[in-house]
């Protein structure tokens, strides 16, 4: 099914926001069936993880800019390392009570604060933890062992002997529980699967880089094999990405038998609403075998950088001596999503610093870092001291912005962001846009996963870079075709994958 890309176009076009679709929507939030934001295994004993961490000595912006791909490193993560990765990617960084409600703030941004991404680990024996398959419980910062034994060989076979998986002592797996997000966003929630796993992965990859742990994103795998290993129902929860962690692992043994576990979990809701488009798109983009995954991975989309036809404005990042020295741990603990911007300017050197540190390649099985970017970053600049207001496209290799159209587009930015004031209030709106045709030609329907996830990881880095500089950021949704039309003719063939707004928060970041 992966080769019939009509499935992608049917889903993509069918979940676009338009003026008409928003006006005609009758969807109301039913709080009687609002999903639980955690997956809880009541019959499994928790393996408590450390809560206290020594801050990294690497400044946050350096960790964001690092590739986290250290192929020569002989590194086996410890239990303390896994605890850091868990906490700073998907853990609860603070709890606030408002009346009868307790608000749990996670380390990474998530659409609607619905937290549908789960994190699992498959590992050999590592310091402090026996080999097994584990689930990370965000609610109590603990691991629970689903299977005992070394099952990494299953992942090697599922990926068609992907080298980073074969070498990794630990593999992290992200899944999405579709209903948790679809409760609010309906069928469009499948896009959010990759937006929200992308921001989590940005944190995880940055933390790994800060600890000098090799980390490589793996998107080519046999879906059914991985889902069966985790013992999840793929129509309700499914694996969407893996990260190989560490290097020079023990020899991979033959995996123990994979019996069905039938482990009980606390129900998310009294009932769930099914959105067939999610299941159909996920099935259509699934791979059936390790051999199929290896073949899929071997292809590359045709990609050429856009020609420069306008004025290039070189980026002017801050001097190294002026950069904040806070660790990535400190930044993640105070990261949030801005709920209001102050309509004040940011400096061009701040914008340049965020772009230089965040917009670069991702260690990945299917996109070489030298082939990055998969798409392009377009900007609406509302208020940046030292940069003319208008629309731009980023040329990362030239470390420059190309001015497409000067002018004041502040109110238009708000209108494109589904009429949300945040788009108009922000100093800058960054739209990650991808030409889907060559991506789907190379990768089939699974290319849609790649096209959504890669920009989300970059946007996650921008989140972190903004907060490292004392600024604010938030992800926004958008009117799909109106964004494409706005950036035409330059972006006329491209679809917007992610929108992030950057600026001075109305409430200052401590």
Q: pLDDT over 90 for what percent of the chain?
A: 84
Q: Is the pLDDT of residue 436 over 80?
A: yes
CA pair distance 456, 198, nearest whole angstrom: 5
Question: Is 311-503 the same fold as 66-94+103-253+264-297?
Answer: yes
How large is the average pLDDT for residues 7-16? Answer: 97
SS3 402: strand
Q: Helices (DSSP H) in 285-427: which residue ranges?
A: 290-297, 328-334, 348-358, 410-416, 421-425
Yes or no: say if 456 and 370 are a contact pair by the CB < 8 Å rule.
no
Q: How far is CA 90 from CA 26, 164, 333, 346, in A?
A: 32, 23, 11, 29
Enumerate the β-bridge partners of residue 474: 501
165 membership: H or E segment, kind and range: helix 163-167
Q: Which two tokens stand for residue 197?
A: 């796993």
Higher pLDDT, 423 or 310: 423
Cβ-proximal residues to 387 (8 Å cutoff; 6+ apart), any chain: 313, 348, 351, 381, 401
Report domain extents, the chain: 66-94+103-253+264-297, 311-503
Yes or no: say if 139 and 220 are a contact pair by the CB < 8 Å rule.
no
- Give the mean pLDDT of the chain: 93
Q: Which two tokens stand for residue 352?
A: 């340049």
Strands 384-385 and 346-347: parallel
70-118 pLDDT, tens per residue? 655 678 999 999 999 999 999 999 888 777 777 888 999 999 999 999 9
DSSP string, 85-139: HHHHHHSEEEEEEETTEEEEEESS--GGG---EEEEEEE-SBTTB-SEEEEEETT
| 7 CB-side CA count, 13 A | 22
How large is the average pLDDT for residues 428-442? Answer: 96
Q: Which two tokens stand for residue 330?
A: 């400190």
CA pair distance 221, 364, nearest whole angstrom: 13
Q: Which CATH class is domain 66-94+103-253+264-297?
A: alpha beta
Positions of E strands within 129-271: 132-137, 142-148, 170-177, 215-218, 237-245
pLDDT of residue 249: 76
How large is the average pLDDT for residues 13-38? Answer: 95
pLDDT of residue 72: 59
pLDDT of residue 69: 62
Q: How far is CA 403 from CA 1, 298, 388, in A?
A: 41, 36, 9
45-68 pLDDT, tens per residue? 999 999 889 888 899 999 999 866
Higher pLDDT, 307 or 396: 396
Q: Return the CATH fold of 311-503.
A: NADH Oxidase (3.40.109)
Q: Which region, left, alpha or beta, applies to residue 238 given φ > 0 means left and ψ of -120 to 50 means alpha?
A: beta
Q: Is the pLDDT of residue 371 over 70?
A: no
């Amino acid at each position: 099914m992966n080769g019939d890309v009509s499935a992608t176009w049917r889903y993509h076009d069918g979940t676009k926001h338009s003026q008409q679709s928003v006006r005609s929507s009758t969807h109301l939030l039913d709080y009687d069936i609002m999903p639980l934001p955690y997956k809880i295994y009541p019959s499994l004993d928790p393996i408590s993880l450390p809560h206290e961490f020594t801050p990294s000595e690497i400044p946050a912006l350096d960790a964001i800019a690092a590739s986290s791909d250290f192929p020569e490193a002989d590194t086996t993560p410890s239990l303390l390392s896994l605890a850091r990765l868990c906490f700073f990617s998907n853990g609860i960084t603070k709890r606030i009570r408002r009346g009868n409600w307790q608000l749990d703030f996670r380390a990474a941004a998530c659409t609607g604060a619905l937290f549908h991404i789960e994190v699992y680990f498959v590992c050999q024996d590592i310091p402090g933890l026996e080999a097994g398959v584990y689930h990370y419980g965000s609610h109590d910062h603990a691991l629970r062992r689903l299977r005992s034994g070394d099952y990494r060989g299953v992942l090697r076979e599922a990926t068609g002997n992907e080298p980073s998986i074969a070498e990794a002592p630990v593999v992290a797996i992200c899944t999405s529980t579709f209903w948790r997000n679809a409760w609010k966003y309906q069928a469009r929630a499948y896009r959010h699967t990759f937006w929200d796993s992308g921001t989590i992965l940005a944190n995880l990859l940055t933390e790994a880089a800060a600890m000098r742990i090799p980390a490589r994103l793996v998107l080519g795998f046999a879906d059914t094999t991985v889902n069966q290993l985790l013992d999840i129902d793929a129509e309700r929860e499914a694996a969407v990405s893996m990260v190989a962690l560490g290097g020079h692992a023990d020899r991979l043994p033959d995996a123990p038998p994979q019996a069905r576990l039938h482990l009980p979990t606390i129900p998310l809701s009294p009932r769930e609403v099914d959105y067939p488009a999610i299941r159909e798109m996920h099935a259509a983009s699934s791979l059936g075998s390790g051999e199929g995954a290896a073949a899929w991975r071997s292809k590359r989309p045709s990609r050429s950088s856009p020609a420069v036809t306008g004025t290039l404005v070189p980026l002017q990042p801050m001097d190294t001596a002026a950069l904040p020295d806070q660790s990535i741990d400190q930044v993640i603990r105070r990261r949030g999503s801005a709920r209001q911007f102050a309509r004040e300017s940011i400096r061009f050197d701040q914008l340049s610093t965020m772009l230089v540190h965040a917009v670069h390649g991702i260690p990945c099985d299917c996109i070489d870092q030298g082939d990055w970017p998969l798409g392009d970053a377009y900007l609406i600049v509302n208020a940046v001291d030292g940069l003319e207001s208008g629309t731009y496209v980023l040329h990362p290799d030239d470390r420059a912005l190309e001015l497409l159209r000067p002018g004041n587009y502040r109110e238009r930015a708000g209108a494109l962001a589904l009429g949300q004031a945040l788009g108009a209030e922000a100093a800058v709106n960054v739209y990650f846009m991808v030409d889907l045709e060559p991506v789907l030609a190379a990768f089939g329907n699974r290319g849609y996963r790649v096209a959504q996830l890669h920009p989300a990881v970059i946007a996650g880095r921008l989140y972190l870079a903004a907060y490292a500089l004392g600024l604010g950021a938030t992800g926004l949704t958008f009117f799909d075709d109106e964004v494409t039309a706005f950036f035409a003719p330059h972006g006329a063939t491209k679809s917007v994958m992610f929108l992030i707004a950057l600026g001075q928060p109305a409430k200052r970041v401590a």
